[in-house]
Amino acid sequence: MSDKQAPTARRAPPGGSLLSLALASMIDGVDAHSGGLYLLSADESVLELEVTAGLPRAFAAPWERVGLSAPIPIADAVRERQLIWVGGEDEMARRYPRVAVVLPYPFALAALPVATESKVYGSVFVTWPGSHPHELSDREREQLTAACERLAVRLERAAEESRPVLPEADSLPATGRVADTLGSVEAVRMVARLPYGLCSLDLHGRITFANTAAAALIGVPVSRLLGTQLWAAVPWLNDPVYEDRYRAALISQHVTSFVALRPPGEWLSFRLYPSRTGLSVRVSRARSVSEMDRAVPSHDHGPSRLVTISQVLSLAGALTEAVTAQDVVQLVAEQIAPSVGSQALVVLGSRAGRLHVLGHRGYPDPQVVERFDGTPLSAPTPGVHALNSGVPAFFESQAELERLYPARHATPDGFAAWAYLPLIASGRPVGTCVLSYAEPHAFPADERAVLTSLGGLIALALERALLYDAKHQLAHGLQAALLPPSLPPLPGIDAAARYLPSTRGMDIGGDFYDLVPVDGLAAAVIGDVQGHNVTAAGLMGQIRTAVRAYTTVGQSPAEVMCSTNRLLIDLGADLFSSCLYLRLDPGRGRAVMARAGHPPPLLRRPDGRVRVLDLAGGPLLGIDSSATYPTTEVDLAPGSVLVLYTDGLVESPGVDIEDSLVELGRRLAEAGDRPLDELADVLVGQEGHAEERIDDVALLLLRARGVAGGG
């Protein structure tokens, strides 16, 4: 049978329990607490959880199916073909923060590949309580390795003999009612008579026994408690915090406890005594009710979580709304740093082989931070090391930091503890987040896991923000390159212009304008290509260039429009463009105009009267190759002002365009005598300060001042 077929023969011979028996034997052989066995899927890309032992399968629910590239121990064991050892919660938080966030409890873990010399079949993990030594003994290592090799050989034989492997049940220690374990009915009677509450939970958290005192304290009859989970049967215990204590006790095999408020005002203490078969729970009234007068239950012997699951979800949601890198810095400063007790922060970005300060908060002397700007990625600093290694670094005191990084003696920042979080997004380092603490600060394992996970959220938001910033700079650079950098001086004509990009899309669009001097005369053009994207901007640049070229070779306004129309059709861009073209003759006080589906210009006469010019015209450019564009001649006496604009200036949702034109004309009449730059700002009005614009706005103002000696 080929290697590709081997993994499909995944289950032991009919009637056998190859996997569960092998797993149970491994656990017993090294006095472990629990474990699980994975086999590779048929395509060898995913590890699938086949059986568990010692603890409910629900504890491993996030890892039922694991990709081989996942950063967790069982996948590492397969990829590296070796035993992976994690000696405790601190090491788990440092090396495997994704696991530590879900299981922030004291326990040790070993993961091994199930493999022959030629083929990997899967992997196994086993766990020990937190009391296990931090190092794996030689005996334990040898026994686990030999057991996995034996299992691999049996799987290989099963595949060669085409024996299918049947589904197997998980292996949990048998549990019974208290009468069975104590061996006599009298023992049960004795427990029932005790004045404090006692109940027993199986490994799934179900109540298998409760005495009368426990039922009285909890306020639920024994008959309604049996067979249910404590936090499901009692409404005021229906909180993930209490279930977390049950999980902590089972995984760590340490006594844990919590207090809970039974409405309306009685505090009860729950103390959980774990074993490999379940939990014994003692329920009593809390000794000092005044000390329990707080909203959050206390966890004896449990890690102090600074950030709850709801806070993480809230922060994740807030980070998705951050648009720019400065938005990310501000959000981290306002929401994340306070929630983890940090007093200051720096966000560093990686670019061109150096670290750059993207933002900082909380430092009395900003220069202390700014001198780290431009640090080479080869420098021996904690920020660089965290970024290059991808491993967070936590320094509980200044002495600890300076011992590892002596250079920090010369650059004190006034703080006493630090967390350096590498910001890795899509497998690529994007920067480092440094959280600083005013006092020496211990970083317990659960806090390290939470901070590392928050670093991942920050990294994704920062990567997106940096891409947005780069896109924004590119868009504005492209737009600036396609529009005239300045308006040329024209004989007898003053000019001013404004361009406001749409805030939707890429902040670039197809609106354009230009002024072209022509043999003592001048040409002006304004237009609007469909869309707010790179295609529209690129086509706009081609049209503007074409208009300038046709003007320079001496074509009339009608010819310029026809030539540009044919060019647009020949380009095959499937986009249309409106356009308004003017040939200005200030010496004669005349202007000749041609229009292609563009909004009509406004003319303010020297006496202050304003009218909308009713110009002849043709269809939009790019529709009909045979279209013609008639021209209209307009008086342009000295002091007259022409207002050329695109539809973004006069079109707004829910506002009639005629009303907008009337309002634009009113502003022009009132402010028409002002300098053109001031007039441009008046006409743009609120659009210039709007946070959202659904369309681009282009505005070109032309004021005739006449030409000395002109005829």
453 to each of 336, 423, 436, 458, how far by Cα in Å? Answer: 12, 10, 17, 9
Closest CA to 514 of 499, 536, 503: 499
Same domain? 468 vs 338: yes
Closest CA to 360 of 352, 349, 350, 374: 349
Q: Tell me if residue 289 falls in helix, strand or coil.
A: helix
User: Phi/psi of residue 36, each to 5°?
Assistant: -155, 155
- Quick check: 230 and 205 in contact, CB under 8 A? yes
Rounded CA-CA distance 233/225 in Å is 6
Boundary-marking domain end, from 431, 454, 474: 474
CATH code where residue 194 lies? 3.30.450.20
Residue 273 lies in a domain: yes
pLDDT score of 640 = 93
Same domain? 494 vs 543: yes
Closest CA to 357 of 347, 343, 365: 347
Same domain? 440 vs 488: no
Residue 376 lies in a domain: yes
Residue 452 lies in a domain: yes
Residue 711 lies in a domain: no
Token pair 């743009």: residue: 684
Same domain? 121 vs 192: no
Residue 173 lies in a domain: no
Same domain? 599 vs 688: yes
Cβ-proximal residues to 480 (8 Å cutoff; 6+ apart), any chain: none
Q: Token pair of 212, please?
A: 């009368």
Q: What total of structural domains would you count in the chain?
A: 4
Boundary-marking domain end, from 414, 445, 474: 474
Q: What type of residue sits at position 252?
A: S
Residue 4 lies in a domain: no
Q: Token pair of 691, please?
A: 């946070």
Rounded CA-CA distance 487/169 in Å is 81
pLDDT, averaged per 10 consecutive residues of the chain (711 residues), comes to 38 59 92 93 86 88 84 93 93 83 88 94 94 93 95 91 76 50 57 79 89 90 89 83 85 89 88 90 73 41 46 64 81 80 89 88 85 88 88 89 80 85 85 92 80 84 78 66 81 89 62 86 89 74 89 92 92 86 90 93 93 90 92 92 92 80 92 92 73 76 71 38
Rounded CA-CA distance 622/619 in Å is 9
Token pair 């030689």: residue: 138
Residue 419 lies in a domain: yes
Same domain? 279 vs 320: no
| End-to-end Cα distance, the chain | 100
Same domain? 37 vs 145: yes
- Quick check: 146 and 114 in contact, CB under 8 A? no
Helices (H), 422-556: 445-482, 534-552
> How many C-beta atoms surround the C-beta of residue 471 within 10 A?
13
The pTM for the full model equals 0.51
Cβ-proximal residues to 708 (8 Å cutoff; 6+ apart), any chain: none
pLDDT score of 555 = 93
Same domain? 464 vs 507: no
The distance between the two most distant Cα atoms of the chain, rounded to a whole number of Å, is: 126
Q: Which domain holds residue 575?
A: 483-704
Boundary-marking domain end, from 231, 264, 284: 284
Same domain? 135 vs 35: yes
CATH code where residue 689 lies? 3.60.40.10
Q: Tell me if residue 329 falls in helix, strand or coil.
A: helix
Q: What is the torsional sign of CA 525, 531, 535, 537?
A: positive
CA-based R_g, the chain, Å = 38
pLDDT score of 307 = 54
- Quick check: 345 and 436 in contact, CB under 8 A? yes
Residue 709 lies in a domain: no
Helix axes 657-671, 676-684, angle to 10 degrees: 150
CATH code where residue 330 lies? 3.30.450.40
Same domain? 446 vs 587: no
Same domain? 247 vs 131: no
Same domain? 607 vs 642: yes
> How many C-beta atoms surround the C-beta of residue 146 within 10 A?
12
